[in-house]
Amino acid sequence: MKGSRILALVLALMMIIALVPTAVAEEEPVKISVAGYMFGPVNNDEDVITPAVEQMLKEKHGINVDIEVVYIEQGNYAEILNTQLAGGTAPDVFLAQSTTALNSYVDQGVIKSWDEEFFKENAPDVYAFITGGAAYGDLAADVDAWKKASMRDGKMVVIPSFKPDGSMPYKTLIYRGDWLDKLGVTEETLPKTVDDFVALMGRFAKEDPDGNGQDDTFGCSITAMKALFGSYGLATGFSGSDSYWVLRDGKVVNSDVAPEAKEVISILAGMYADKLIDPEFVAGKESVEGSYWAISQGMVNGLYGVSANASIDHYRLKEVMGDDGGRCAQEYWAVNGEDSTFVYGPWPAGPEGEYGWMVGTPVAVSESALYNANMSDEKLAVIFQIMNAFATDDELYMLAFAGIEGVHYEKQENGTIKRLMGNEELNAVGVWGCRSLYGADRAFSQLGYDLAFYKDPSIANRLNWFKKDQYNSYRQDVVTETLPSLGDLSGELNTIRDEAYVAFIRGERSMDTWDDFVQEWLAAGGQTLTDEANEWYASQN
């Protein structure tokens, strides 16, 4: 069986190569090693895509390269890459991972920098695509932000991703449908205010929504608790990650210590005292080790009635894509039965009418490529020329992105594709191996953006829901760049916040000591970050 599959791949590859001209002068290929985002390693014995990409680049674009796809496991990517960088064995092209990591690599001098004109000269179509506002010009207002994100000290160091889904809402409240039915709550009567939300959590905890006659249910998970911060215009990282910065009276303030945060924590403390919150809310019952990260185990298994751990697409219904549904939906049905239901809920609004979850921006560097400082300018020019080829040659891009039609994917009537193998199998035969050579997760082309966003039914499904009142989340960070001291200070500051919040909520610490907590946070480095945030904000305005 395996042999017949390989034979089919080889025959398909031969057909592709036969379609392109063959008159190209012989020359030594430029060797490029690339370690992009991979689901699994490439199998050199089965990789039919990388050689076909090399052949097409050579025959159609005059770019003679020898591409080595390097697999670095995502879970240990930073650790492995840092070891390679220290030892001088890192690949030519690798992932930025985060703005913090990017800044660190710049400080260490381990990545290339170049003039904007150099990029424009070697990737003119990519440059025009970006400065024109991307596929349909809808990101024109974000071009300056893209340029700023790409540069350090007047030199470009990264080609950031630039995509509309970067600022698209992705979270929602997910309610257990059976509990709502038991309590007579319909989609139209789901809570839209904080008071109504707290009241429904009380019913979840007190009115036996699972019908087992036992007092064993609670209102909401920790992520649904965090949704209340949005009701007061904040976006919190509680617990474990960084919070957003907000404007208050013309000054930049961190959500963790903004005055409204005290109001939210007071509400949660009251809910905890009334036993509406699971006493073990910090330990989780949301995502657990060994389980898919977006699955809220507590909600799926009937401990509480609502979670904000996942997106609408994680709970996508089968009819949207004609498949088995979203990953979390599949788990929900497996536990609760194929006829079980869940409901997407609106964000509760606070006293000033604010609501929502944190969202990002169209500009990001996390999956963007960086370039090893050891390479020559000539090799970097070739890499940018390859990026430009992917942006202008749809046949080349489809080969690298999707593989061979009929073998690795099928075209759909709606203009998208259906993959015929799992992600690891596709990586094994070379699909996505050149991912960091054509951009981030897509080429800088209309086709790349259509396939990933504009023509994707799952995206349309999400956007249609977000058009509804209070389903769209829009809490954006006032500070869109990593502050200089964040990497050194965020760990301790997040710990101080998490420990204080938990103590306040559990009643182990009086809300009267809130100002003491704020002073502790500021003294531990919060004031330094606040000063940096305000300095940065002033420089942008």
Single-letter code of the amino acid located at 220 = C
Specify the pLDDT at position 440.
87
Q: Which two tokens stand for residue 90?
A: 């890192």
Q: Which two tokens stand for residue 146?
A: 């893209």
Specify the pLDDT at position 348.
97
The answer to whether 395 and 174 have CB atoms below 8 angstroms apart is no
The answer to whether 108 and 127 have CB atoms below 8 angstroms apart is no
d(CA 345, CA 176): 10
pLDDT, one tens digit per residue, over 373-418 is: 999 999 999 999 999 999 999 999 999 999 999 999 999 888 889 8
d(CA 142, CA 361): 9
Q: Which two tokens stand for residue 470?
A: 């209070």
Count the neighbouring beta carbons within 10 Å of the beta carbon of residue 541. Answer: 4
The answer to whether 514 and 279 have CB atoms below 8 angstroms apart is no
Structure pTM? 0.76
Domains of the chain (ranges, CATH numbers): 2-163+364-463 (3.40.190.10), 173-358+483-540 (3.40.190.10)
d(CA 4, CA 11): 11
d(CA 179, CA 337): 14
Name the stretches of the chain with pLDDT < 50. 1-3, 6-7, 10, 22-25
Specify the pLDDT at position 3.
47
d(CA 137, CA 131): 9
Q: Which of 345, 307, 319, 315 is nearest to 333 (CA)?
A: 315
Specify the pLDDT at position 518.
98
Specify the pLDDT at position 8.
54
Specify the pLDDT at position 416.
86
Q: Which of 382, 427, 375, 422 is nearest to 401 (CA)?
A: 427
Tokens 């909600």: give the residue.
Answer: 299
Q: Which residues contact 513 (CB under 8 A, 6 or more apart)?
A: none
Q: Which residues contact 408 (CB under 8 A, 6 or more apart)?
A: 402, 419, 420, 421, 426, 429, 431
Single-letter code of the amino acid located at 336 = N
User: What is the SS3 string spanning 64-110?
Assistant: CEEEEECCCCHHHHHHHHHHHHHHCCCCCEEECCCHHHHHHHHHHCC
Torsion on CA atoms 271, 272, 274, 278, rounded to nearest 10: 110
Q: Which two tokens stand for residue 71?
A: 């697999």
